[in-house]
Structure 1
Amino acid sequence: MWIPFSRGCLVNRILDFYRLQETDGLYLYWLKELLVAVVIFTLFYGLSCLVRFILASVLPRLTAATNTDLDDRILERVSPPLTLFVVCTGAYYAVRYLQLPAKVQMIASGAIFVVNVIIFTNIAYRVIDEIMNWYATTLAEKGREGLDRQLIPLAEKILVIFLVGTALIITLKHFNYDVLSLVTALGIGSLAIGMAAKDTLAHVISGFTLMIDRPFRIGDRIQLSGGQMGDVADIGLRSTKIRTLDNTLLIIPNSDLCNTILLNQAFPDIRAKGRVSLGVSYGSDVELVKQLLVEIALEIQDVLRDPAPEAFFVSFGDSALNMALFFWVDDYGKLFATSDKINSLILQRFRDRGIVIPFPTRTVHMEKGE
């Protein structure tokens, strides 16, 4: 049977054959690319399983042998995001291997890169947060609650801002943004703000100095060079608040407080030394008066026996022999009440013993004129 065949038909068949070969080759190429990407992701997924096993089974045995629980707490908090970070890293390299269109690949790999930066920043934040909490607990156990309440949250906020800024700069640099101009603009802006708020910054820096140097703590009773006395209520960044003895709030800028002389009655401990000064009439038995003063002080329950109260003959006055009684109390808050009890008991016992506490008198002799 005769089949009509033309040269044009043969050419078309040959072209169709080559097109089929090109399609099959392209299909095989993409299949190879996809297979390699899957292998890369599978390897990283296996690595994440290995990391999870090490974090869950191996490292806890090592951290259990240490004296602190800080490493255990850090390990517990970073384990979940760390395994996720390894998986996302595998996804990033798998997408980067695929020969996708430039815009599609930039969007896909960029999105995974941003997720990786967020996860890594979260890991760093968890480590810092655990270290700060552990340090705050250590300070509280040492009796330095004021420092952990004031300085630790501030330091943690500064570190968080630093982490976020670093993550933002890394992300912008990945997308080929000009990071140098951004950093320069931030530096110039910070300089302008610093010049405009130099007084406030001076108070803030002084606040840091007070928190680190710690000449006083919250709750300490201090006396300023101007004579004001009160208990420290709060140590802020800009100012320190002092509750005076008449229950008013005294607010002092930190820079002024750093440059003044003050007396801390609660340092090195809260014990306080009291003094009662009085005079007895000339002719009194000084040794008896000193013995009686010590006995009176020992009758008061709040007066410490160690160190024991002491009485001294201080000086000769115009109309009296000046005596002084020194005693200690275990808390400076009891000083006024204890002094009141001692003074009241001195009046009673001196009256019973016939010891006179004189008051200034003046005798005027009038002479008759001739």
Structure 2
Amino acid sequence: MTFGLENYIQNEYIRAIILLVGIFVVLKLFVFIIEKIVIKFTKKTQTDLDDKIIEKTSSPISLLILIIGIRIAVEEITAVQGNFEKIFNNIIYSLIIIVGGFIIYRVVDLVVARAWKRVAIKTKSNIDENLYSIVHGLLNFLWIIFVFLYVLTLWGIQVGPFLAGLGIAGIAVALALQPILSNIFSGISIVLDKTIRAGDLVYIEDKVKGKILEIGLRSTKIMTFDNELIIIPNSKLSDSIIQNVTLPEPKSRVIVPFSVAYGTDIEKVRKIVLSEISKIKHVSHDPSPIVRFVEMANSSLNFKAYFHVDSFDNRFEAIDEANTRIYNALNKNKIKIPFPTMDINLKKN
């Protein structure tokens, strides 16, 4: 493809350079149209899907134009033709397939992600979102395999015998990949079982405590209360004893122990403490807070205040506020708060 330049310019290298410059101009024009016209137009639409498609594909499309331009320019040089022409063409076409496949993948991925998100909103559950992260990883892997096999056919490699060879070696590979496959199927099982979800607060065998960030293809990520990231293989997680404090409902029970001195009016203590608990931020009144007289200890009357907060995230703030309010209220009503004492008697010789 010479565009008639050979009629005016005899030197093939100069023609190639002119074509490269022309491709560079086309690239600049493409970027200008995207930034100044297309993006302004897409921002006026009711959806942001087109904005994301432009954002994700503009760079690879520019790369695709550049590759095609190099192919056109180098075609002018006779030294590349002959023995090197087939190899060069295969390299260029392979790059076109890879970049083109990448562009198609990004567009399809954005469209599917948007559709999947709508389903998750309609079902009012994040199970679809969790499952998508696993399915997304599998589809990504399969798409890479598809593009790879297509490139092999371009180079004249027979895919049939290649796949047959893979089938024979598949047993050995499957055995080698058994831990990975176990994690993948465990992850799918966890998501479909709906016992834990991204965002849930969990205790795992009293060793790991935190919030689930992501249930992935191979592992699950948990952020602990100390802001540390814990990564657990899905197969190990599925075999663990898990306490999910977010299910079946987000409310969490709080227990606050406190003590008063002997001789204190028990009903008065209950009334004062219940009044203070009702003022706590995030407290839930279903079920209603209660105060139990649990023990007559050596030097104190021991109580426990039981109440619920709207979510586990507010549990520690509620405990702090409850302790503060109970302490101040008891002092205000001149109710003594005992503390352990020890009498020491000294005998004179």
TM range (shorter): 0.5 to 0.7
**TM-score under structure 2 length normalisation:** 0.58
1:210-359 correspondence to structure 2 within 5 Å: 210-359=190-339
CA offset digits 1:139-171 (Å, max 9, x no partner): 3322222x32332364367579889999xx9xx
CA offset digits 1:98-127 (Å, max 9, x no partner): xxxxxxxxxxxxxxxxxxxxxxxxxxxxxx
Question: Within 2, Cα distance between the matches of 1:242 and 1:164?
Answer: 29
Question: Within 1, Cα distance between the matches of 2:273 and 2:246?
Answer: 27
**1:368–1:207 Cα change, 3 Å:** same
1:13-52 correspondence to structure 2 within 5 Å: none
Question: Within 1, Cα distance between the matches of 2:254 and 2:275?
Answer: 16
Contact 2:134 2:216 survives alignment (8 Å): no
Q: CA deviation at 1:343?
A: 0.9
| Corresponding letter in the other structure for 2:124 | G
Contact 2:134 2:187 survives alignment (8 Å): no
Q: CA deviation at 1:207?
A: 1.5
**1:315–1:225 Cα change, 3 Å:** same
Structure 1 counterpart of 2:124, from 139, 143, 158: 143
Question: Within 1, Cα distance between the matches of 2:229 and 2:343?
Answer: 49
**TM-score under structure 1 length normalisation:** 0.55
| Corresponding letter in the other structure for 2:125 | R
Contact 1:280 1:321 survives alignment (8 Å): yes
Structure 2 counterpart of 1:191, from 151, 171, 177: 171
Please tell me whether residue 207 in structure 1 is matched to residue 157 in structure 2.
no
| Corresponding letter in the other structure for 2:119 | T
Unaligned runs of 5+ in 2: 1-109, 150-157
Question: Within 2, Cα distance between the matches of 1:324 and 1:296?
Answer: 14
Contact 2:130 2:198 survives alignment (8 Å): no
Contact 2:183 2:218 survives alignment (8 Å): yes
Contact 1:312 1:324 survives alignment (8 Å): yes
Map of 2:20 onto structure 1: none
Contact 1:140 1:148 survives alignment (8 Å): no
SS at match of 1:327: strand
CA offset digits 1:281-309 (Å, max 9, x no partner): 22211121112111110122321222221
Structure showing greater relative contact order (alpha-carbon pairs closer than 8 Å, 6 or more residues apart): 2
Aligned residues: 235
Question: Within 2, Cα distance between the matches of 1:226 and 1:181?
Answer: 52
**1:299–1:159 Cα change, 3 Å:** closer
Question: Within 2, Cα distance between the matches of 1:157 and 1:354?
Answer: 64
Contact 1:136 1:152 survives alignment (8 Å): no
Q: CA RMSD in A?
A: 3.4
Contact 2:257 2:305 survives alignment (8 Å): yes
Map of 2:15 onto structure 1: none
**1:228–1:150 Cα change, 3 Å:** closer
Q: CA deviation at 1:182?
A: 6.2
Map of 2:347 onto structure 1: 367
Map of 2:67 onto structure 1: none
Map of 2:51 onto structure 1: none
**1:341–1:256 Cα change, 3 Å:** same
Question: Within 1, Cα distance between the matches of 2:322 and 2:256?
Answer: 8
Unaligned runs of 5+ in 1: 1-128, 170-177
**1:271–1:136 Cα change, 3 Å:** same
Question: Within 2, Cα distance between the matches of 1:164 and 1:284?
Answer: 75
Contact 2:299 2:340 survives alignment (8 Å): yes
1:52-71 correspondence to structure 2 within 5 Å: none
SS at match of 2:283: coil
| Corresponding letter in the other structure for 1:223 | Y
Question: Within 2, Cα distance between the matches of 1:179 and 1:204?
Answer: 27
